[in-house]
Amino acid sequence: MYMNTNTRIVSPEFDFIQPKTLAEAFSLLEEHGATAKLLAGGTDLLVQMKMERQQPSHVISLAKVKELEGIKAGDGLTIGATTSISAISKSAPVKARYAALREACNAYSTVSVMLMGTIGGNLCNASPAADTAPALLVHDASVILKTAKATRKVPLKDFFTGPGKTVMQPGEILTAIELPEPARGSGSAFLKISRVVADISQVCAAVMLVRDGDKITDCRIALGSVGPTPVRMKHAVGALIGQRGTPEAFDAAAEIVARDITPITDVRATEKYRRHVARIIVRDALLTAWQRAAEGAAK
């Protein structure tokens, strides 16, 4: 009965725990098992608890686990899971090399949500509309999943399995996101369409192109809010690689995207509108990324 649902009062009782180390977090997770939830920024979890979509017995906050926060740049980039969206959008290496991710972070709801929300939380929440997901997909990111005993690295393209669902196993914590160094001559871009700026996307799209002169040598395209998970577009990419980067080629690829996606009609947009604007923003993002690739090569 939705009339009882609200986003202010947390009525179910739960225990709140704040471990200081990852090791402590693992043992707490083991102890309280499936009924515990990890808290990062809380911008999704707390709302879900208020709405009683989640009723954990224990909430384990990762706020004090220092090793989970921060951005390390080297050959590529490692972003700690509890790094805030705002910190990523302000990061110099992100600004210099990962344009799509930066634009996704800048398009991320309101200032307060950007300050509280974390990149790890955004991914683990596994919303089909997660703004950072398409950007990370085109940057070819992987996530690091750890238990007390083991560590595995999962490519982000294999991470999401459905709305709110991922390949994570009980006891695992997503500790970091790893992005490889962008290829020489590459450019990326992210675009989002929403009813108002402070809103979940109706459609969002990220693209990455590698150019050699006027030829496209590599490409990735990913979209959000067009299917059960953030999704990479294979056919459109296939149509672009090896081609010349012309507006016509980008338009044709965008049309393939509009055909391949599986959007639904909901309160935010109709299926028809989603297909229409997916084509527009993919085309626009490809044009921008192509331009950026040229600028990058010129530097």
Partner 1 sequence: MSATQLKSVGDSSWRKDGISKVTGSEQYAPDISVDRMWYGRVLRSPHAHARIVSVDTSAAEAMGAVCLTFADVPQTRYNERIVSTPPCLYRDRTVVADKARHVGEALVGVAAPTEELAEKALRSIKIEYEVLQVITTIEQAQKDGADPVHDTVLLNGEDKPIINNVAVQRTIDVGDTVKGFAESDFVIERSFKTGRIYHAQMEPKTVICQPEADGGITVWASTQSIHNTRILLGQIYGLPLNKVNVKKVALGGAFGSSIQMNSVTPIGVGLALKSGHPVKIATTREEDMHDHVRYPSEIKLKLGMKKDGTLIAGEMHAFEFKLKQYVGLGGTFWGQGPASKCIIRSDGVPELLKTGAELINWDKRPKPGSQTGRMRRGIGMARGFHTSGVGHAKASGAEMIDYSGAIVKLNEDGTVDLIQSLMDHGGGTNHAISKIVAEELGVPNHMVGISPCDTRTSLYDVTTHATRGIYAGGAAALKAAKAVKEQIIDWAARVLDVLPESLVIEPDQELGQGVIYCPNLAERRMTVGDLARYLHLNSLGTISSSQSMRQVNCPPAYVSYYVDVEVDTDTGQIHSRRAALGSDCGTVVNPALASGQLIGGLSKGQGYALTEDNQWDPVTGELASKGFWVDGKTPSISESPLVADIETHFAHTYEPTGPFGAKGLGEAAKNPAAAAFANAVYSALGIRFYELPITPEKVLAALAEQAAGKTARAARQAPAPVPVAE
Nearer Cβ to partner 1, position 106 or 217?
106
- Residue from 116, 269, 285, 286 touching partner 1 (CB under 8 A): that is 269
Task: Decide if residue 10 touches partner 1 (CB under 8 A).
Answer: yes
For partner 1, the closer CB: 148 or 280: 280
By CB under 8 A, the residues from 142 to 201 that bind partner 1 are 193, 195-200
Interface stretch with partner 1, choices 71-79, 159-167, 233-241, 272-280 (CB under 8 A): 272-280
For the bound state, the minimum distance from the C-beta of residue 196 to partner 1, rounded and expressed in Å, comes to 6
Compute the least distance from the CB of residue 228 to partner 1, in Å.
Answer: 20
Q: Would you count residue 46 as binding partner 1 (CB under 8 A)?
A: no
Q: Does 277 bind partner 1 (CB under 8 A)?
A: yes
Size of the site for partner 1 (CB under 8 A): 29
Q: How far is the CB of 13 from partner 1 (least distance, A)?
A: 8
Pairing mode of beta strands 142-146, 186-193: unpaired
What is the bridge-based pairing of β-strands 76-80 and 151-155? unpaired
Considering the rule CB under 8 A, would residue 252 count as an interface residue with partner 1? no
For partner 1, give the closer residue by CB, 67 or 284: 284
CB of 51 to partner 1, least distance (A): 9
- Which range in 8-16, 141-149, 160-168, 211-219 contacts partner 1 by CB under 8 A? 8-16
- Using the contact rule CB under 8 A, the part of the chain among 10-18, 36-44, 132-140, 246-254 near partner 1 is 10-18
Distances (CA, A) of 101 to 6, 127, 169: 32, 17, 26
Dist. CA 129–CA 165, nearest whole Å: 13
Measured distance CA(117)–CA(95) in Å, rounded: 19
C-alpha–C-alpha distance, residues 108 and 119, integer Å = 11
Q: To the nearest whole angstrom, how small is the minimum distance from the Cβ of residue 53 to partner 1? A: 12
Residue 273 sits in the site that holds partner 1 (CB under 8 A): yes
- β-strand partners of 39: 61
78: tokens are 């490692």
CA distance 136 to 122: 11
Pick between residue 193 and residue 236 the one whose CB is nearest to partner 1: 193
CB of 47 to partner 1, least distance (A): 9
Q: How many angstroms separate the Cα of 269 from the Cα of each of 36, 49, 225, 265, 282?
A: 34, 26, 10, 6, 17
DSSP assignments along 226-295, one per residue? SSSS-EE-HHHHHHHTTSB--HHHHHHHHHHHHHH------SS--HHHHHHHHHHHHHHHHHHHHHHHHH
Determine if 204 is a binding residue for partner 1 (CB under 8 A). Answer: no
Q: Compute CA 102 distance to the chain's CA centroid, rounded to the nearest angstrom.
A: 11
Tell me if 178 sits within 8 A of 76, measured CB to CB: yes
Q: Does 246 bind partner 1 (CB under 8 A)?
A: no
Q: Report, in Å, the least distance between residue 258 CB and partner 1.
A: 13
Please report, for residues 118, 176, 260, 296, the alpha-carbon distance to residue 121 in angstroms, rounded to integers and kept in the order given. Answer: 5, 11, 28, 31
CA atoms within 13 A on the CB side of 211: 24
**Choice from 28, 63, 276, 291 touching partner 1 (CB under 8 A):** 276
Q: Which residues bind partner 1 (CB under 8 A)?
A: 1-11, 13, 193, 195-200, 267-270, 272-273, 276-277, 280-281
